[in-house]
């Protein structure tokens, strides 16, 4: 089939012409005559999302996941990593089992589960219930990993036993991200040296950067082996902070949403894990005012990063190839002949017109 696009973003360059797809793969780009629909780009990958469209992944059933995946397709997402906040240990079992049994049905693909906790620093709990935080425990971590498809875990490496936990998870192939942490530079370097691969949300919920105490963010921004994940919603980061991190990290910069079930919904009261959160004035907060995830979508994150100063190619890379690389998914985040057809089509205002997952149309905007 033809996508009907004017151009495609191929390896960072805009190539004029249409895109053709057969049997789930891209067969050609730059096809004449060009269509009129917009620009095809690699489909987006969200590595950190708690929920969307009234669905909290920690408590979702299969129908809830389907509703959330349909909403994600409308934002250009072709794959995502459902995220579970810190919870009682027994609360993870059924959600992990369900996440590992979802059907492949032409909607955005769940890539495994991101456990954001429970091995986090109480001083930087953020929206996590401090009563659910635990000291690093390799036996419990292994038990959680055995219960379902855990592909990423956020940990605070400075806690006693933290480096041992990082090494154990890395040896199992779990992506270790550092966050909700009071790690200083030495502790951060030690954790990346032990196998950690990312910072969970730069400049949020960790020891603050200071000129003589750069902490976790300062280390992640300069280490070539660290991916820098960021919530570019205009609430968690000022545009200058987001763009500065993007310039420092370059192709290591990963957009994430950290969205909660309220994303795509109206103002009011919602749930994040077992906690009540309130939506007002474009932000999600606990009752005490603490930020509690976001209302962000990946297409809006791309638009925000471009508005802050990034080029289209760099912003799309941050939403697709960079998070795909972090998760070891070389089949995602690229658009070229022979690649799987995971594609978003954007109009001139970078709004999503169409999303294709594995060659199957998952979303098409009403004309």
| Parent domain of 175 | 44-332
105 carries an active-site annotation: no
C-alpha dist (Å) from residue 149 to 12, 50, 58, 200, 353: 32, 16, 14, 19, 32
> What's the CA angle centered on 351, arms 349 and 355, to 5 degrees?
145
Q: Which CATH number fits the domain that encloses residue 310? A: 3.20.20.140
Q: Tell me which residue has tokens 């089949």.
A: 331
pTM: 0.97
Asked if pLDDT for residue 249 goes beyond 80, the answer is: yes
Judging by beta carbons within 10 Å of its beta carbon (0-12, 13-18, 19+), is residue 127 exposed, middle or buried?
A: buried
Same domain, 344 and 325: no
Q: What is the pLDDT of residue 103?
A: 87
Q: What is the pLDDT of residue 64?
A: 97
Q: What is the pLDDT of residues 277-334, one digit of tens each?
A: 999 999 999 999 999 999 999 999 999 999 999 999 999 999 999 999 999 999 999 9
Same domain, 303 and 196: yes
- According to DSSP, the residues that pair with 22 across neighbouring strands are 25
Q: What is the pLDDT of residue 274?
A: 87
Same domain, 126 and 264: yes
Nearest to 200 by CA among 278, 256, 123, 138: 256
- Residue % of the chain over a pLDDT of 70: 100
Across the range 47-76, mean pLDDT stands at 97
Across the range 248-252, mean pLDDT stands at 98
Number of domains in the chain: 2
Nearest to 303 by CA among 293, 312, 290, 294: 312
Across the range 141-149, mean pLDDT stands at 97
Same domain, 206 and 301: yes
Same domain, 72 and 192: yes
- Residue % of the chain over a pLDDT of 90: 98
Same domain, 280 and 363: no
Q: What is the pLDDT of residue 57?
A: 97
Asked if pLDDT for residue 367 goes beyond 80, the answer is: no
Q: What is the pLDDT of residue 157?
A: 98
Q: Which of 46, 56, 233, 258 is catalytic?
A: 258
Across the range 162-178, mean pLDDT stands at 98
How many angstroms separate the CA atoms of 74 and 294, rounded? 17
Same domain, 353 and 214: no
Using 50, 70 and 90 to split pLDDT, how confident is the model at 352?
Answer: very high
Q: What is the pLDDT of residue 104?
A: 82
Q: What is the pLDDT of residues 42-55, one digit of tens each?
A: 999 999 999 999 99
Same domain, 243 and 177: yes
Asked if pLDDT for residue 177 goes beyond 80, the answer is: yes
Same domain, 167 and 34: no
Across the range 125-153, mean pLDDT stands at 97
Asked if pLDDT for residue 11 goes beyond 80, the answer is: yes
Across the range 160-177, mean pLDDT stands at 98
Asked if pLDDT for residue 39 goes beyond 80, the answer is: yes
Q: Which CATH number fits the domain that encloses residue 13? A: 2.30.40.10
Same domain, 228 and 304: yes
Judging by beta carbons within 10 Å of its beta carbon (0-12, 13-18, 19+), is residue 81 exposed, middle or buried?
A: buried
Asked if pLDDT for residue 85 goes beyond 90, the answer is: yes
Same domain, 141 and 125: yes
Asked if pLDDT for residue 268 goes beyond 80, the answer is: yes
Same domain, 173 and 298: yes
């Amino acid at each position: 089939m033809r996508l009907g696009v004017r151009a495609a973003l191929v390896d960072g360059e805009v190539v004029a012409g249409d895109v053709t797809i057969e049997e789930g793969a891209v067969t050609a780009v730059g096809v004449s005559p060009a269509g009129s629909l917009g620009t095809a780009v690699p489909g987006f990958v969200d590595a950190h999302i708690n929920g969307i469209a009234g669905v909290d992944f920690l408590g979702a059933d299969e129908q809830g996941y389907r509703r959330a995946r349909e909403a994600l397709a409308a934002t250009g997402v072709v794959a995502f990593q459902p995220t579970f906040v810190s919870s009682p240990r027994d609360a993870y079992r059924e959600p992990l089992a369900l996440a590992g049994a979802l059907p492949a049905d032409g909607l955005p693909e769940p890539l495994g589960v991101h456990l954001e906790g429970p091995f986090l620093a109480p001083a930087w709990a953020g929206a996590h219930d401090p009563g659910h935080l635990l000291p690093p425990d390799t036996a419990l971590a292994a038990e959680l990993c055995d219960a379902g498809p855990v592909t990423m875990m956020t940990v605070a490496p400075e806690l006693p036993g933290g480096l041992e936990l990082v090494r154990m998870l890395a040896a199992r192939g779990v992506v270790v991200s550092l966050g909700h942490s009071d790690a200083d530079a030495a502790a951060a370097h030690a954790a990346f040296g032990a196998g950690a691969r990312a910072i969970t949300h730069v400049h949020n919920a960790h020891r603050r950067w200071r000129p003589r105490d750069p902490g976790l963010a300062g280390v992640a921004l300069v280490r070539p082996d660290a991916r820098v994940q960021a919530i570019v919603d205009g609430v968690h980061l000022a545009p200058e902070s987001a763009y500065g991190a993007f310039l420092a990290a370059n192709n290591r910069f990963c957009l994430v949403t950290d969205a909660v079930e309220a994303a795509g919904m109206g103002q009011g009261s919602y749930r994040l894990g077992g906690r009540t959160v309130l939506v007002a004035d474009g932000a999600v907060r606990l009752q005490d005012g603490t930020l509690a995830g976001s209302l962000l979508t990946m297409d809006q994150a791309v638009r925000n990063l471009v508005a802050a100063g990034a080029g289209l190619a760099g912003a799309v890379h941050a939403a697709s190839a960079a998070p795909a690389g972090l998760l070891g998914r070389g089949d995602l985040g690229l658009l070229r002949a022979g690649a799987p057809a995971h594609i978003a089509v954007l109009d001139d205002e970078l709004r999503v017109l169409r999303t294709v997952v594995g060659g199957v149309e998952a979303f098409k905007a009403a004309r």
